[in-house]
Amino acid sequence: MHEVSDDTLREHDILVASDNQFQRRARLLQALWREERGLPIGERRPGVPLGSRLPSDFARESGANLMTPAALDAARREVAASRLGSGQKIEADRLWANLLSSQPLAFNLFADLERALALASRVLRRIWPERLASVTKILFEYSPGRGSAKYTSDKTAFDIYVEHATPRGGRGFVGIEVKYHEALADEPARHRTRYDEVTAAMHGFKPELVLGLRRKPIEQIWRDHMLAGSMLLDTSAGWETGLYVFLAPTDNTACRTAVRLYREHLSDAQTFDSLTLEAVVAAIEAETDAAWIRELRARYLGWEKIERLLAQRRAAHG
C-alpha cells in the first residue's frame, strides 16, 4: 500500500495537516467518490474548499451523502425525531455534508437492513450464529434512557441498536458503535459516579486497570460498553443476552489499537466484541447481490481506486 503524497491531496483539495495515513487515504477515497458523481465541493471554512465535504445547503436539500432511499428516509426520520425532543444526538452538518462522517455510514450500512429484517437476520446470523436467531428491530442513535441514572446518567447512545430473538427463544440486543476515519482523539467526557457503579456491577474489568478506562482512546468505548452493561443489569427487562460491538475499517490503525488496549482492561469479554467494516459488508454481500451494498463497498472500502490513481501519477511522472 503506497502512501498518498501531499501533492495528490492538494490536487483534490483535501490536504489536512492533522490527518494520519489512514485518514489521508479515507479522505481521498471520499473526494474521489464525490468527483465521480459530479457533486459540488464543500468548504472547510469560507473560501477554502475541502474535497471530502459537500456544500451545506446542497447537502441538506439533496441528501446526497445518503446512498439509498432507505438511508435517506431513515436519516430524515431521525433528524425530525431529534427536533421533536426525542433526545437523539444527530449532528446535522456531519450527517448531510461530511462525506467522511461515520454517522451517514451507519445509515448507509444498516437502513436497508432495517427495511428487510429477514435479510438482516441472515446477515447477522452469519456473524453471531450462536447468539442470534432472528432480528426483530433495528434502531438508530438509540439509548433506553438518555441521562437516566438507571443506565449511565449521560447521553451515551448506540449508533445502531439491534433487538433479536436468541436460538433458545429468549430476547437479546446488540448495540453497535460505527467508526470510519476517526482516531478516537476526543477528550474524555466528564466522569460520573454512576460509571464506577456500573463498572463494578458488570464484573468484567480488571480492578487494577479500572482507572485507565477514563483515558482516551478507550474512554468512549468504555462508556458505550457500560450502556450495554447497564441494560443487562436491569433484570426486569428480561434480556437473555446483550452485546456491545465496536465496528471500524480494518486499516484504521487508531481504532484497531484502541480495541486491543480496551481488551487488555477486560477480565470478561462476554458482552464486548469488535468487528471490521469489511466483515459486515462481506456478510451482507453473502446474502444479497443488491446494488446498494456493492456501491457502499466501492465508496468506503474501494482502496484499489487510490492504488490505481497513485500508479497513474507515478507513470505520468516517471
Q: Among residues 228, 236, 237, 233, which one has the least CA distance to residue 269?
A: 228
**Helix or strand run (H / E) with residue 288:** none
Inside any domain, residue 240: yes
Same domain for 213 and 167?
A: yes
Count of structural domains within the chain: 2
Inside any domain, residue 6: yes
Inside any domain, residue 43: yes
User: What does the angle CA 67 – CA 86 – CA 60 come to, to the nearest 5 degrees?
Assistant: 35
Q: Please state the pTM of the whole predicted model.
A: 0.95
Same domain for 168 and 226?
A: yes
Inside any domain, residue 292: no
Inside any domain, residue 294: no
Inside any domain, residue 140: yes
Cell matching residue 224: 458505550
pLDDT of residue 318: 62
Inside any domain, residue 280: yes
- C-alpha 65/C-alpha 163 separation (Å) is 27
187-240 pLDDT, tens per residue? Answer: 999 999 999 999 999 999 999 999 999 999 999 999 999 999 999 999 999 999
Q: What CA–CA distances, in Å, run from 317 to 304, 311, 312?
A: 20, 10, 9
Inside any domain, residue 110: yes
Cell matching residue 164: 433479536
Same domain for 310 and 268?
A: no
Same domain for 256 and 314?
A: no
Same domain for 137 and 274?
A: yes
Same domain for 306 and 179?
A: no
- 243 bridge partner residues: 174
Contacts of 246 (CB under 8 A, 6+ apart): 176, 177, 179, 221, 224, 255, 259, 262, 272, 273, 274, 275
5-41 pLDDT, tens per residue? Answer: 999 999 999 999 999 999 999 999 999 999 999 999 9
Same domain for 152 and 73?
A: no
Same domain for 192 and 78?
A: no
Same domain for 43 and 98?
A: yes
Q: Which residues of the chain have pLDDT under 70?
A: 1, 85-88, 318
Contact 151, 231 (CB under 8 A): yes
Contact 206, 265 (CB under 8 A): yes
Residue 103 φ/ψ region, left for φ over 0, alpha for ψ in the -120 to 50 degree band, beta for the rest: alpha
- C-alpha 120/C-alpha 287 separation (Å) is 9
Same domain for 106 and 198?
A: no
Same domain for 183 and 261?
A: yes
Contacts of 138 (CB under 8 A, 6+ apart): 110, 113, 114, 117, 120, 160, 161, 162, 163
Same domain for 253 and 314?
A: no
Structural domain boundaries, residue 4: 1-115+299-318
- 276 bridge partner residues: 248
Contacts of 267 (CB under 8 A, 6+ apart): 203, 204, 205, 206
